[in-house]
Amino acid sequence: MLGGGGHAKVVLDAIRASDCCQVVGILDDDGAKSGQQVLGVPILGLCSELSKLSGKLKLKGFVVAIGNNYIREWKFRKACQTGLKPFTVIHPTAHLSADAKVGAGVVILAGVVVNPGTVIEDNVCINTSASVDHDNRLGNHCHVFPNATLTGGVQVGEYSYIGSGAVINPYLRIGCYSYVGAGAVVLRDVPDGVTVAGVPARKIADQPNRPEK
């Protein structure tokens, strides 16, 4: 598992509950964490050591347990380049429609609802108790925070965040690289690369950050 912070505890708990794989160790970019444990699982070293440890430990795959979208995408891409398989983690208390489509390396946490017709692309995180209704499309590397609600037909662009408790009205588009603030109510499309907040949601800032390539 890549990432040894607080989010890692939640992802590790979902892995154990779903029994989708066995976590033999954790890698983190903070060298000071080496030798520590997350819920009893040892932090073995730095993320950059994945390729070396892969053969030594006979690893079959990886899970990224990092909330930051850009860092999660970077680790996902680098881990895939080692030839390891990205595992998808779905907590057993989540309801995932049989008519939903789920990409590689997706993490769906406890209490989430995903309804028919929804497409979830690669390396997406849907956090605790979020509701993703029918015919939504979640772009690569986006993150839906706890208790957020995506009503029908919503499109969420790559790398975007939907904040905790936010509500997105039907058939709207949230642009790539955008942030929707916690508790916001979105009544109109959100352009690429902006931060919106409030009820109703309005632009409060540009969001200039972009992933490293």
pLDDT tens-place values along the chain, 213 residues long: 999 999 999 999 999 999 889 999 999 999 999 999 999 999 999 999 999 999 888 999 999 999 999 999 999 999 999 999 999 999 999 999 999 999 999 999 999 999 999 999 999 999 999 999 999 999 999 999 999 999 999 999 999 999 999 999 999 999 999 999 999 999 999 999 999 999 999 999 999 989 887
Q: What is the per-residue pLDDT for 116? A: 98
- State how far the Cα of 108 lies from the Cα of 134, in Å rounded to an integer: 16
Using alpha carbons, select from 87, 82, 102 the residue that is nearest to residue 20: 87
Element (H, E) at 52: helix 50-57
Element (H, E) at 182: none
DSSP-assigned letter for residue 61? E
Q: What is the per-residue pLDDT for 49? A: 94
- State how far the Cα of 90 lies from the Cα of 82, in Å rounded to an integer: 24
Q: What is the per-residue pLDDT for 75? A: 97
Q: What is the CA radius of gyration of the chain?
A: 17
Element (H, E) at 94: none
Q: What is the per-residue pLDDT for 165? A: 98
Q: What is the per-residue pLDDT for 188? A: 98
- State how far the Cα of 48 lies from the Cα of 52, in Å rounded to an integer: 9
Q: What is the per-residue pLDDT for 71? A: 96
Task: Report all structural domains of the chain as residue ranges with CATH numbers, in order of start.
Answer: 6-86 (3.40.50.20), 89-206 (2.160.10.10)
Q: What is the per-residue pLDDT for 212? A: 80
Task: Give phi and psi for 18, each to the nearest 5.
Answer: -90, -20
Greatest Cα-to-Cα distance within the chain, rounded to the nearest angstrom:
53
Using alpha carbons, select from 71, 144, 140 the residue that is nearest to residue 109: 144
Q: What is the per-residue pLDDT for 124? A: 98
Active site (catalytic) residues: 134
Please check whether residue 138 is in contact with residue 119, taking contact to mean a CB–CB distance below 8 angstroms: yes
Please say whether the dihedral angle defined by the alpha carbons of residues 44, 45, 48 and 53, taken in this order, is positive or negative. negative
Q: Using alpha carbons, list the distances in angstroms from residue 189 to 45, 70, 118, 172.
A: 43, 23, 19, 5
Using alpha carbons, select from 128, 79, 125 the residue that is nearest to residue 103: 125
Q: What is the pTM of this model?
A: 0.96
Q: What is the per-residue pLDDT for 118? A: 98
Q: What is the per-residue pLDDT for 157? A: 98
Q: Using alpha carbons, list the distances in angstroms from residue 57 to 54, 115, 169, 181.
A: 6, 38, 47, 41
Q: What is the per-residue pLDDT for 55? A: 87
